[in-house]
Amino acid sequence: MPTMSQNTGLISFNNVSYEHDATKPILIESSFSVRRGAKFTLMGQNGAGKSTLFALITGTLKQDVGDINIAPRTSIAISRQTIPRNELDLTLRAFFEKCFLEKVYDIDPKIDAILEVVNLAPKNPEMVASFKERVIGSFSGGQQARLLLASALIQNPDVLLLDEPTNNLDTDGIAHLTEFLREYRKTVIVISHDSAFLNAFTQGVLYLNTQNRTIEKYDGNYNDVVKEISLRVDKEKRKNAQLAKETQTNKDKINYFAAKGGKMRLIAKKMRAEIEEADENKVDVRKEDKTIRPFTIPVQKELPADILKLISYKVIRNHNPKDVPCELILKRGRHLQIVGPNGIGKTTLLESLASGHATGEEVADGVTIGYYRQDFSNLDFDQTVFDCLLDVMDKKVEEEMRAVAAGFLINQDIIKTRIGLLSEGQKGLVAFARLVLLKPGLLILDEPTNHINFRHIPVIAKALHDYEGAMMLVSHVPDFVEQIRIDETLDLDKKK
């Protein structure tokens, strides 16, 4: 059960309310505290306001009502989900310098130490100086994930806020981060859907309940809390089902007694009052129960047998590109997984394949490519969700588009919103809805579980498993990949 005691902690929220606008409250009179040295998972549905809570803790956002108390002289650093586009042109050194409010004159030793911590230091000592002059945008998605983490750690904060820190990290990167957090003696609050990662070091859960807009505090590991919440939802559903059954039975009796007239009508009147009271006792089932509906990604019609041919590809070794010959033919209905460590060139290969400009690539004429890009940068952030989804349809049937969108929990409010204003998880659901409406012949997926709520993962895995077109997949989440049919594997790290 939630631990609601409000002992003074390092971070305390007392009856805090915050809303983006009058129709979108994030918190309503919510209270909780986090003690010094605690390590918590922050859970909640996509779009519930988890990142907003981090912004309230850091002071980037100001609460509307209530008090947020942070112990004096407490330093807070946040590891963001993505690197802002205006920082992609910074050098590595300038990127780290930007982490500090005041100029740090001897920052190089700090950079060297933190690159070791996130396992990103150059192996060759002679390359250290030039490495710090590399532009941030030249690093792979996985390497950028490590840099985001390093940008928080270099500040040596009392409170470390991690927003999806395992996104894009390979197995070694996740293991390295897990071990670091196990040994970290300060306060950590982390947003993540990686249960194995969370269970390795967190001791409790802060749960953003979107039904009553409060933070519930639980002790125990991530799996235990997920199970407890699921049991509570089932209990609430059963209670409502029983109330609904009793109400219907009583309504039938009322109609019968009312028709009899006389004293029977008085009995009917009394029963109506009892039904109204039963309706008031009906439990609101928490909204976290919602999961996207099972879906199918339709396949482009009249596809050729051979969808894609690849005679060579580029990899990055020792920071240098290298051409690797291969003989790959991806046929209709075949699923290919591309594997390799962070920085080897997986995302770069997928980007070039999706654009049709890869070295040694030949995609059959007329094949429609559906590309799920890990940073969603192939979506127009200035478009509304409505326009984004309608644009990819051959026949612009609004009713069909809205039906597909609803299956991905894209409701009336979300569909009118600009994509750039959505949470990362909501952008992911829009990207999947877009693939359904596009009806591709070749599906290219780069880390499709990043930012996605754990409840949706099995549904997405089933849709990809059943996809009948050609598919190329990059994912560092073994539990997800195990649920999908993989016919062949391309290992970019294999020495040839």
Per-residue pLDDT of the chain (496 residues; tens, 9 = 90+): 334 334 458 999 999 999 977 677 889 999 999 999 999 999 887 778 888 999 999 999 999 999 999 999 999 999 887 788 889 999 999 999 999 888 888 899 999 988 888 888 887 777 878 889 999 988 887 788 889 889 998 998 999 999 888 877 777 778 888 888 888 889 999 988 777 888 889 989 999 888 788 999 988 887 787 778 777 777 777 777 777 777 777 777 777 777 777 777 777 777 777 666 655 555 454 545 578 999 999 999 989 999 999 888 888 877 678 888 888 999 999 999 999 887 888 888 888 888 876 667 788 889 999 999 988 989 999 999 999 999 999 999 999 999 999 999 998 889 999 999 898 889 999 999 999 999 999 999 999 988 888 789 899 999 999 999 999 999 988 889 999 999 999 999 886 5
Are residue 171 and residue 241 in the same domain, yes or no?
no
pLDDT at 24: 78
Are residue 459 and residue 380 in the same domain, yes or no?
yes
pLDDT at 361: 78
Query: Of 289, 319, 335, which one is at a domain's C-terminal end?
Result: 289
pLDDT at 289: 53
pLDDT at 9: 82
Q: 367: domain range?
A: 306-491
Alpha-carbon span 106 to 108, nearest angstrom: 6
All residues at 6 or more sequence positions from 432 whose CB lies less than 8 Å from its CB, including other chains: 292, 295, 372, 408, 448, 460, 463
**Domain assignment of residue 266, yes or no:** yes
pLDDT at 282: 52
**Domain assignment of residue 158, yes or no:** yes
Alpha-carbon span 219 to 206, nearest angstrom: 9
Are residue 283 and residue 386 in the same domain, yes or no?
no
Cα distances (Å, whole numbers) of residue 415 to 23, 192, 449:
15, 25, 22
Reading the block at residue 5, the tokens are 């005691």
Are residue 247 and residue 362 in the same domain, yes or no?
no
**Domain assignment of residue 444, yes or no:** yes
**Domain assignment of residue 3, yes or no:** no
Are residue 204 and residue 341 in the same domain, yes or no?
no
HEC string for 334-384:
CEEEEECCCCCCHHHHHHHHHHCCCCCEEECCCCCEEEECCCCCCCCCCCE
**Domain assignment of residue 496, yes or no:** no
Each residue's pLDDT tens digit, 201-213: 998 999 988 878 8
Are residue 38 and residue 70 in the same domain, yes or no?
yes
pLDDT at 5: 37
> From its phi and psi, is residue 283 left (phi > 0), alpha (psi between -120 and 50) or beta?
beta
pLDDT at 278: 58
CATH code of the domain in which 24 resides: 3.40.50.300
Are residue 170 and residue 205 in the same domain, yes or no?
yes
**Domain assignment of residue 157, yes or no:** yes
HEC string for the chain:
CCCCCCCCCCEEEEEEEEECCCCCEEEEEEEEEECCCCEEEEECCCCCCHHHHHHHHHCCCCCCEEEEEECCCCCEEEECCCCCHHHCCCEHHHHHHCCCCCCCCCCHHHHHHHHHHCCCCCCCHHHHHHHCCCEHHHCCHHHHHHHHHHHHHCCCCCEEEEECCCCCCCHHHHHHHHHHHHHCCCEEEEECCCHHHHHCCCCEEEEEECCCCEEEEEECCHHHHHHHHHHHHHHHHHHHHHHHHHHHHHHHHHHHHHHHCCHHHHHHHHHHHHHHHHHHCCCCCCHHHCCCCCCCCCCCCCCCCEEEEEEEEEEEECCEEEEEEEEEEEECCCEEEEECCCCCCHHHHHHHHHHCCCCCEEECCCCCEEEECCCCCCCCCCCEHHHHHHHCCCCCCHHHHHHHHHHCCCCHHHHCCEHHHCCHHHHHHHHHHHHHHHCCCEEEEECCCCCCCCCCHHHHHHHHHHCCCEEEEECCCHHHHCCCCCCEEEECCCCC
Are residue 53 and residue 82 in the same domain, yes or no?
yes
Alpha-carbon span 197 to 194, nearest angstrom: 5
Are residue 149 and residue 118 in the same domain, yes or no?
yes
Each residue's pLDDT tens digit, 144-173: 888 988 999 899 899 999 988 887 777 777
Are residue 235 and residue 365 in the same domain, yes or no?
no
Q: b vs e for 432-453, b when ≥16 Cβ sit within 10 Å of the residue's Cβ? A: bbbbbbbbbbbbbbbbbbbbbb
pLDDT at 228: 80
**Domain assignment of residue 217, yes or no:** yes
Are residue 177 and residue 273 in the same domain, yes or no?
no
Reading the block at residue 216, the tokens are 């519930």
Total domains in the fold of the chain: 3
* Contact call for residues 52 and 213 (beta carbons, < 8 A): no
Are residue 139 and residue 248 in the same domain, yes or no?
no
Query: Of 208, 226, 244, which one is at a domain's C-terminal end?
Result: 226
pLDDT at 495: 67
Q: b vs e for 464-480, b when ≥16 Cβ sit within 10 Å of the residue's Cβ? A: beebebbbbbbbbbeeb
* Contact call for residues 453 and 45 (beta carbons, < 8 A): yes
Other C-beta atoms lying within 10 Å of the C-beta of residue 121: 17
Cα distances (Å, whole numbers) of residue 399 to 405, 428, 430, 439, 445:
10, 22, 16, 17, 27
**Domain assignment of residue 276, yes or no:** yes
